[in-house]
Amino acid sequence: MPSDKTKFTIPDEFRGFREANLDERCRIAKRFVENFVENMAPPKNLDGDKEWTRSVRGRFIEICPEDCYPWPSDKLTRKGEYLVDFGWAENRGGHRVLLACECEWGSTRYGTRWWPVEHDFEKLLAVKAPFKLLIFSSNFKLSSPDGAPDADFSIEYAKQRLEASLHGYGHNIPGETYILLDFPRGYAEGSNGIYRAFTWIAKKYGDIAVSLDSLANGKLIRPSDN
Q: What is the pLDDT of residues 141-172, one digit of tens each?
A: 665 555 566 777 888 888 999 999 999 998 89
> Hey, which residues does 132 pair with through a beta bridge?
100, 178
Summarize the confidence of residues 132-144 as an average pLDDT: 80
Residue 154's contacts (CB-CB under 8 Å, 6 or more residues apart) are 138, 139, 142
> What pLDDT score does 105 carry?
87
Residue 8 in any domain: the answer is: no
Which among 35, 27, 16 has a CA at the least distance from the CA of 128?
Answer: 16
Nearest CA-CA partner of 120 in 131, 136, 109, 108? 136
Q: What is the pLDDT averaged over residues 205-215?
A: 91
The parent domain of residue 209 ranges over 16-225
CB 71 within 8 A of CB 97: no
Total number of domains constituting the chain: 1
Position 1 in a domain:
no
Note the pLDDT of residue 224.
Answer: 58
Residue range 84-125, pLDDT digits in tens: 898 999 998 888 999 999 999 888 887 778 889 999 999 999
pLDDT at 153: 80
Average pLDDT (121-140) is 91
The per-residue pLDDT for range 42-72, each reduced to its tens digit, is: 666 556 778 888 888 888 889 999 999 988 7
* 79 found inside a domain: yes
Q: Answer yes or no: is 10 within a domain.
A: no
Report the pLDDT value the prediction gives residue 1, as an integer from 0 to 100. Answer: 41
Residue 48 lies in a domain: yes
Does a structural domain hold residue 5? no
Mean pLDDT check: name the lowest of 131-135, 142-146, 176-180, 217-221. Answer: 142-146
Inside any domain, residue 69:
yes
Judge whether 6 lies within some domain.
no
Q: What is the pTM of this model?
A: 0.88
For residue 6, pLDDT over 70 is answered with yes
Identify the pLDDT of residue 213: 95
Q: Is the CA virtual torsion 109, 222, 57, 86 positive or negative? A: negative
